[in-house]
């Protein structure tokens, strides 16, 4: 069975500070890993994904995540937070060849203070 | 930019009533999904739909739930007799490729409140 754990339901940072949102996964088969973002009153939007190949993946809006198999982690980072980054962030995992059935984490709400 | 649209954005209903949530997927997409999120909990997969039939469903998707694509544009989720525990945000999603690599396009969600 697959699962995702997001540490911290709320994260607060100052504008310009590093953003680090944590995600750990459990999977008995090679995982595909994703970060989705949900801005207020909008749907879920794909931020970035890891399928195969390079373990450091870059996404939209300056975000990136690194797949670390040894740590079963896929943490999301951004060097400098912007006010517009305030949103809910969801980590998700799926199985090879069954990528439509995403298993989501509980989400992390990011607040950015001026 | 093409987007998935959902209606209603919020519906309040009495327990035992039927509810239909509607979705208009992106026009050239072929794969359709419903997910839901109970307040404070994870976003959960409910069902996937392709070629006018259910391709996969979760254990949550019992006989009270049904989906259909009645007219080639809308994709609906029906709950026949709502229960209190059906209160949740329901997300519709669509994908255009057979191996979507997880790039599902989600709507804004429909919040269902069952009283």
3-state secondary structure B76-99: EEEECCCCHHHCEEEEEEEECCCC
Instruction: Please state, for a pLDDT cut of 70, what percent of chain A lies above it.
Output: 95
8-state DSSP, B60: T
Residue contact B104–A46, C-beta within 8 A = yes
Whether residue B99 contacts residue A97, with contact meaning beta carbons closer than 8 Å, is answered with: yes
**Which residue of chain A is at minimal alpha-carbon distance from B58?**
A101
**Which of A105, A101, A79 is closest to A13 using CA atoms?**
A79
Q: How far apart are CA B15 and CA B50, in angstroms?
A: 30
Residue contact B104–A100, C-beta within 8 A = yes
- Identify the three-state secondary structure at position A37: strand
Q: Which residues contact A70 (CB under 8 A, 6 or more apart)?
A: none
> What's the pLDDT score for residue A4?
92
> What's the pLDDT score for residue A42?
80
Residue contact A100–B41, C-beta within 8 A = no
Given a cut of 70, whether residue B98 has pLDDT beyond it is no
Going by pLDDT thresholds of 50, 70 and 90, the confidence category of residue A14 is very high
- Total length of chain A: 114
DSSP-assigned letters across all residues of B14-56: -TT--EEEEEE--TT--EEEEEEE-TTS-EEEEEEEETTEEEE
Instruction: Please state, for a pLDDT cut of 90, what percent of chain A lies above it.
Output: 67
Cα A80 from chain centroid? 16
């Amino acid at each position: 069975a697959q699962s995702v754990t997001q540490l911290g339901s709320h994260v607060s940072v100052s504008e310009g500070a590093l953003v680090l949102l944590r995600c750990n996964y459990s999977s008995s088969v090679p995982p595909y890993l994703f970060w989705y973002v949900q801005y207020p009153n909008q749907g879920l939007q794909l931020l970035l994904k890891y399928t195969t190949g390079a373990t450091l993946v870059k996404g939209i809006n300056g975000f990136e995540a690194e797949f670390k198999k040894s740590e079963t982690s896929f943490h999301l980072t951004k060097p400098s937070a912007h006010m517009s980054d305030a949103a809910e962030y969801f980590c998700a995992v799926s199985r090879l060849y069954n990528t439509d059935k995403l298993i989501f984490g509980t989400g992390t709400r990011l607040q950015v203070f001026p | 930019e093409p987007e998935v649209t959902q209606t209603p954005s919020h519906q309040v209903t009495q327990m035992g009533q039927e509810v239909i949530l509607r979705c208009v997927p992106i026009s050239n997409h072929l794969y359709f999904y419903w997910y839901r999120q109970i307040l404070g909990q994870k976003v959960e997969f409910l069902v996937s739909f392709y070629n006018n039939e259910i391709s996969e469903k979760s254990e949550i998707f019992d006989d009270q739930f049904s989906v259909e694509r009645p007219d080639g544009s809308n994709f609906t989720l029906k709950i026949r007799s709502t229960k209190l525990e059906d209160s949740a945000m329901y997300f519709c999603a669509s994908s255009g490729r057979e191996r979507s690599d997880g790039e599902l396009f989600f709507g804004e969600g429909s919040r269902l409140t069952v009283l």
